[in-house]
Amino acid sequence: MELLLSLCFFLLFSSVAPTREVSFSSCSAQFEAIRTTLNSSGVHLPLHHRQSPCSPSASLQSDLPFSFLLHHDARRVSYLSHRLTAGRPVSLPLSQGSSLGVGNYVARILIGTPAKPFSVIVDTGSSLSWLQCLPCKVSCHAQVGALFNPAASSTYAQVPCSASACSALSSATLNPSSCTRSGYCVYAATYGDSSFSVGYLSQDTLALSPTSIHGFVFGCGQDNEGLFGRSDGLIGLAKDRLSFLSQLSTSYGNSFSYCLPSSAGTGYLSFGSYTPANLAFTPMVTSSLDKSLYFLKLTGITVQSRSLSVSASVYAGTPTIIDSGTVITRLPDEIYAALSKAVVTAVGKKRQRAAAYSILDTCYVGSGVGMAVPDVQLVFAGGAVMKLPSRNVMVDVEKGRTCLAFAAAGGVAIIGNRQQEGFKVVYDVGKGRIGFSAGQCR
């Protein structure tokens, strides 16, 4: 009742949806093979493509149309662009989340005493982590496992309004906190696309191997609505003090890395030391537009080893972020138009053009598999280069149609997860740099 009185503007009516557990045991060997190639220290969590049979949501696979993911993607980009243009102030398995109804990647974490598993969206564009929780006083969407039950954990506690973590919510969620009549902190995390999570700010034990994080702060969601698919919640990896990264930094250092896998493989999300060999680094840029997001400088794009006919000033004047939750890379209009033109010229008449598909307007008849896709490279400050494999350049949006996996987005550039797929990406916040290395999901 107290939560409803504190947040009456979020009242919507729904019932708790049925849930079920999913086993990961059959896929553990695949990740163990990857673990041996990683630095033995730190935390390593498996990361799966959203359509992989090893996904935590494999039992809930669905024929989710790619247009739905693009619609979701467009809303997310609109939200991120608004944040920027308005100037508002361990390894885990990762899987792609289309079977959960999201375009993000999904990891499994363990919380509580005894520890229980939850499949959560991994998001570098937000800070507060949260789970759907019993008694789910307002609304919970269908998810892959059981809702988190605070009463079943001997180490669970609600965070009082007097705690510093409650005061930190305004920067972590861009929304003010509120209090129950009993003096406990209430959070409201909104995502700019009509999605939101509202509930009690809480703390419990986050079980990691080989150690655990006691007093891990997260949201215990009582009203969770929007484009979260069938996920159990979300972990935020942005730079705010309440983020998943910040709370692990004392034990594992101020850096993390991941490799976003294809549907045929398994990737990882790692916290702790990393091996810099074979990594090309670009400086992490600090921006007053949003201090929690990961900015970098895109200095050029080449197609067939030729630079696009775009002035260096256009690149220099473009805020650019890298984001795990945006699927399709967005480029300012002038840069995108030049890229599209260069790709069309390179493909020539080898493939018949097809109609646009949602936000994607450079499309061809047939599949991208077997297509003579031109070489595309993203060039960053400091000399770091992402030489994109053909599957990172084109995306099959439906049977018989493939499109350039880039789109126009006004004056903001976002490096999306389609282009990052198959690369090891290191976010070294401590040293202020981002590193790339191709083919590291094996």
pLDDT digits 0-9 by tens, 359-402: 999 999 999 998 999 999 999 999 999 999 999 999 999 999 99
Can you give the pLDDT at residue 21? 37
Question: Which range is least confidently modeled, 26-30, 134-138, 403-407?
Answer: 26-30
Res 277 pLDDT > 50: yes
Res 7 pLDDT > 90: no
CA atoms within 13 A on the CB side of 179: 11
Question: Which range is least confidently modeled, 20-29, 111-120, 157-166, 185-194?
Answer: 20-29
**Helices and strands, number each (H, E), in the chain:** 10, 29
For the residues 13-23, what does the mean pLDDT come to? 34
State whether the Cα torsion 409-125-238-175 is positive or negative.
positive
Which CA distances in Å does 340 have to 303, 360, 431? 10, 10, 35
Q: What is the pTM of this model?
A: 0.84
Res 103 pLDDT > 60: no
Can you give the pLDDT at residue 440? 66
Distance from C-alpha of 182 to C-alpha of 192, rounded to nearest angstrom: 30
Which DSSP state fits 162? T
**Between 326 and 55, the higher pLDDT residue:** 326
pLDDT band at 5 (very low <50, low <70, confident <90, very high): very low
Q: How many residues does the chain have?
A: 442
DSSP helix/strand/coil, 419: helix
Residues 331 and 409: beta-carbon distance below 8 Å:
yes
Which DSSP state fits 159? P
Can you give the pLDDT at residue 226? 82
Can you give the pLDDT at residue 56? 59
Can you give the pLDDT at residue 71? 65
pLDDT band at 64 (very low <50, low <70, confident <90, very high): low
For the residues 73-94, what does the mean pLDDT come to? 60
Res 29 pLDDT > 70: no
For the residues 82-90, what does the mean pLDDT come to? 49
Can you give the pLDDT at residue 188? 95
Strands (E), 304-430: 306-307, 320-322, 329-331, 353-354, 363-365, 376-380, 385-388, 394-398, 401-404, 406-408, 413-415, 423-428
For the residues 153-181, what does the mean pLDDT come to? 96
**Between 122 and 77, the higher pLDDT residue:** 122
For the residues 113-141, what does the mean pLDDT come to? 94
- Which amino acids are annotated catalytic? 123, 323
Res 117 pLDDT > 90: yes
pLDDT band at 15 (very low <50, low <70, confident <90, very high): very low
Question: Which range is least confidently modeled, 96-100, 150-154, 206-210, 327-331?
Answer: 96-100
Percent of the chain with pLDDT over 70: 78
Can you give the pLDDT at residue 203? 98
Residues 233 and 144: beta-carbon distance below 8 Å:
no
Res 50 pLDDT > 70: no
Average pLDDT, whole number, for the chain?
A: 84
Res 173 pLDDT > 60: yes
Tokens 């003010």 belong to residue: 176
Can you give the pLDDT at residue 208? 87
Can you give the pLDDT at residue 267? 86
**Between 1 and 342, the higher pLDDT residue:** 342
